[in-house]
A and B are shown apart, each in its own frame.
Chain A
Amino acid sequence: MNKPIRKIAVFCGILVIALLVRVNWVQFVQAEELSSSDKNRRVLIERYAHPRGDIIVEGKAVTGSTETDSRDFQYQRTYKDGAMWAPVTGHASVFNATMLEGVHDKILTGNDDRLFFNRTIDMITGKPMEGGNVVTTLNAAAQRAAFEGLGNKKGAVAAIDPRTGAILALASTPSYDPGSIVGNDAEASDNWVALNEDPDKPMLNRALRETYPPGSTFKVLTAAAALESGKYDIDEKSGIEDPYELPQTDKELSNFGNPPCDDATLRVALQFSCNATFAGISADLGNEEMKEMAEKFGYNEELFVPVRTAESVYPEDNAPQNAMAGIGQASNRATPLQIAMITAAIANDGKLMQPYMVDRLEGPRSVVEQNEPQEMGQPISASNAKKIQQMMETVVEDGTGTNGQIEGVTVGGKTGTAQRGVDNSETPYAWFISYAMTDNGSPVAVAVVVEDSDAERNEVSGGGLAAPIAKDVMRAVLEGRQ
């Protein structure tokens, strides 16, 4: 009977070898994939096993970590002024991590490869692992002004330092308190579900991730295209009639009231926000040239600041649609950040700086990464930029944007009231863009959009609703500089 027993021995050997091969496959070949799977709760447990690094604004942390008595998660995130900073910080919870918390998760948890040296030292010296910090470019006073200015209205504010591209304020309302969903309990889950189901979408970052028709604020870009083309000049008659008949249609475009728009100069047209003039310019320059100019300012691509922004769209379109897009309507859609970038480029004499909100990443002992201002391009010449500045300053001194005036400071601005809905049936969006000018160039450019408000629809206007917010933000930045 020994012959079959030997064969059984071989068979049993094969069984054991099959097991050995299998465990090698699972624990060696597949190990990385399994251990880092987002369904593997160990990833989350590890993430919260150490105090997380902080997100810092003007030297003060707007986040924190507290130790909990939860079984899985030793530390829990805390937020100061959570609702105000939510569009910047996002949240780091068991559900996910968003905005800066998500983008720089590895630095904050301390797992970034660039912190390897630190981790090794900590391991040798027996110190608990520490996360790194994310130091932002934001201006706390400006952020507060933006957030409080929006109040309980739905809307967003984006403010940039035109000289560097540093983002100074990024507000979005209605907002949410990230601290309400970071716990590991039923309450946090309930809050998470409620936030996701809220029709007002409080977790949407309207400053970066929502696109709106920019309305009349886009006219400054159309004006820039007009000047760059060389066919128009600031104080020359445009030769465009009011009302203006849209190309290939019999639809006429004009303004409410009776502004002096017929054959207006660019300065006058911007001062009174003449639809006819700018639609005419857009139609005259053509879709391709308009699109090209919009793209020079950052349209039609996602930006990473380093949080991803939505793509602002200036589409390839037919003539009548293109004419409408030239006054910020039709399928022209932009994020508040994009509109702030246009304003900033004009305020910075035509030079567009790459917007960014992280100044540096700090490890526990050293700076891991230092961001420097970067030029994104020069969409228009300095002289043309200065001309548009003059036009925008006229708007604030003596046009639709008088609500943006600040005593003793030169302010340029532009209002916008973006119509929406079929035949303009819904409450329009109120826009205001502006920049403040000092002897040292412009320290702040801001874009404000208010989605809807309690105001009656015919009272909604950029000058009335949005300009005071922009003014407060600018003032906060200016006062901080003194």
Chain B
Amino acid sequence: MSSNSTTGSTSTVSAGGLPSRRNTELGLLVFAVVIPVFAYANVGLAKNGTLPAGMIGYGLGLGLLAGVAHLLVRKFAPYADPLILPICTLLNGLGLVLIWRLDQEPGVRPENAAPGQLMWSALGVALFLAVLVFLKDHRILQRYTYISMAVALVLLALPMFFPPVNGAKIWVTIPGVGSLQPGEFAKIVITVFFAGYLMVKRDALALASRRFMGLYLPRGRDLGPILAIWALSLMILVFETDLGTSLLFFGMFVVMLYVATERTSWVLFGLLLSAAGAVVVASTTTHVQDRVDNWLNPLQLGANGGVTETAQVMYSFGSGGLFGSGLGEGFTRLIGGIAVKSDYILATVGEELGLTGMMAILVLYGLLIERGIRTALAARDPFGKLLAVGLSGAFAIQVFVVAGGVTALIPLTGMTMPFLAQGGSSVIANWALFAILLRISDTARRPAPAPAPNPDVEMTQVVRS
């Protein structure tokens, strides 16, 4: 059998293969390391008038991480997308500089967060490498479809058994280690489940539907899962007051369903259901009502007559203007509260790097999303396509929800800006997410093995002639 399949390999796609682009990646990585080091120097000069003492160490550390990552990618995923690793490194590096810069401000909690973040980033890169080394083929994940579902549910339910932190029950507190946000990991695990499930069920979902008023309506038994996921995401919101995560899961599910079935009716259903859910939740939960009020009137004074966090964030953006005040010279500490280094990190970008820096960062995120979707297009197997589009879609929705929330484009939900924001779970989970995408892109772009001189083939030829 095996010899047959080898001889039949004349139909293999582009046996010559795409260029590996590893040297492009290396060149871009140099920029991704140098730019944050300059930013680091910039902060030191602005705050103390001298180059910061840790600059060389920081530069070497970041360079070392990037270098090791690059070498391992070269070894274990030689055909992977060349843009993803440099962009992740650049965003992570800039995030570290921004957090270190905010560490210089007295009174911004949590204090001295940069060393911790550096450690989490190193762990994130380590997990990234582990995925590349041990996950030889992303299709292996398909075997764990239902285990993934169970794991995701456990991860999502876990925070309910821990006391709420700052009003939201999305944290798991492990003594001695700190707090983790299992939702960030659940994001990846549940994508694996969706991809595996939909790959199996896509035909039933796509074809077994009735036509009603020009729309293809799915059968009730096929509608079940989407309703279940919708209910689940609302429950997460109600029990854990986590609007962002529920929106993220639901949006991701609709995106993957649409890609799997190619039926627009699913998207319409998804929009209708999320609109209905949003209205119900917004009209019953005071927490959400406050968020909507703040969104509609971001500059309104608080109940105590003070300037609200939302207004402070807007003032940060406005004061940044076109070119920003310069790193280290802004006043985002005025935002106060507990989220200056995490949820509101973009306010520091907006104020200190200005509109220019803000657009640059958003374009970097846009590029990452685009590379992810490109990977989905290039993937040859439906599971890989679904997984890649699900992961990139989730990432896109997260970026939009956070950045849109902070800039008051949409109501604010507490989520972290991937790579930039302070938070261990987030940075680790996102490195793992892009490791999986790199693995898919490597498989997709890897040239098929050339028809090697095979002893069996030789023999057949001899017999024929």
Contacts and interface: CB of A to CB of B under 8 A. Distances in A.
A28 interface: yes
Contact of B334 (A18, A19, A41): A41
B106 A71 contact: yes
Interface in A1-45: 1-9, 11-13, 15-16, 18-20, 22-24, 26-28, 30-35, 37, 39-42, 45
B393 A30 contact: no
B358 interface: yes
Given A1-B259, A26-B314, A40-B315, A35 B407 contact: no
B174 to A, nearest CB: 34
Contact of B317 (A8, A13, A20, A26): A26
A11 B254 CA distance: 13
Contact of B403 (A19, A37, A41, A45): A19
Contacts of A6: 377
A23 B314 CA distance: 10
B258 interface: yes
A8 B259 contact: yes
A27 B358 contact: yes
Interface stretch (B50-58, B95-103, B359-367, B447-455): B359-367
Nearest to B356: A27
B223 interface: no
Given A1-B382, A4-B262, A15-B400, A35 B315 contact: yes
A28 B400 contact: no
A26 B314 CA distance: 8
A281 B45 CA distance: 78
Given A13-B366, A39-B299, A39-B307, A23 B373 contact: no
Task: Among A8, A28, A37, find the residue whose CB has the most chain B CB atoms closer than 10 A.
Answer: A8
B404 A19 contact: yes
B413 to A, nearest CB: 15
Given A1-B260, A19-B407, A34 B314 contact: yes
B389 A34 contact: no
Label chain A's interface by main secondary structure: helix
Contacts of B377: 2, 5-6, 9
Label chain B's interface by main secondary structure: helix
A174 to B, nearest CB: 28
Contacts of A22: 404, 407-409
Place the interface of chain B in its size category. Answer: 35 or more
Contacts of B80: none
Closest 10 CB pairs of A and B: A34-B318, A27-B355, A16-B366, A40-B315, A35-B319, A15-B400, A12-B396, A22-B409, A9-B373, A4-B259
Interface string B287-331: 000000000000101000001000100110111111000000001
A8 B318 contact: no
B256 to A, nearest CB: 9
Nearest to B311: A39
25 contacts: A1-B385, A4-B258, A5-B373, A6-B377, A8-B258, A8-B373, A8-B389, A8-B393, A9-B370, A12-B369, A12-B393, A22-B409, A23-B350, A23-B358, A27-B318, A27-B358, A28-B321, A28-B355, A31-B317, A31-B319, A34-B317, A39-B299, A39-B311, A41-B331, A42-B315
Contacts of B382: 1
A4 B400 CA distance: 20
B362 A31 contact: no
Contacts of A37: 299, 315, 318
Given A5-B373, A5-B376, 7 more contacts: A1-B382, A4-B262, A9-B370, A9-B373, A12-B396, A34-B319, A40-B318
Interface string B251-266: 0000100111010000
Interface in A36-80: 37, 39-42, 45, 71
A8 B373 CA distance: 8
Contacts of A2: 377
Contacts of A4: 258-259, 262
Nearest to A4: B259
B181 interface: no
Contacts of B385: 1, 5
A31 B351 CA distance: 11
Given A4-B259, A27-B358, A40 B373 contact: no
B392 A12 contact: yes
A40 B317 CA distance: 11
A8 to B, nearest CB: 6
Task: Among A1, A13, A18, find the residue whose CB has the most chain B CB atoms closer than 10 A.
Answer: A1
A34 B315 contact: yes
Given A16-B369, A27-B350, A1 B262 contact: yes
B223 to A, nearest CB: 19
Contacts of B301: 39
Nearest to B255: A8
Nearest to B365: A16
Contacts of B331: 41-42, 45
Nearest to B359: A20
B354 interface: yes
Given A5-B376, A5-B389, A34-B318, A16 B362 contact: yes
Contacts of A3: 262
Contacts of A9: 370, 373, 377
A27 B356 CA distance: 10
A34 B407 CA distance: 13
B130 to A, nearest CB: 28
Contacts of A5: 259, 373, 376-377, 385, 389
A28 B331 CA distance: 19
Contacts of B354: 27
Contacts of B355: 23-24, 27-28, 31
B409 to A, nearest CB: 4
Contacts of B260: 1
A244 B278 CA distance: 81
Nearest to A14: B400
B297 to A, nearest CB: 13
B137 to A, nearest CB: 19
Nearest to A27: B355
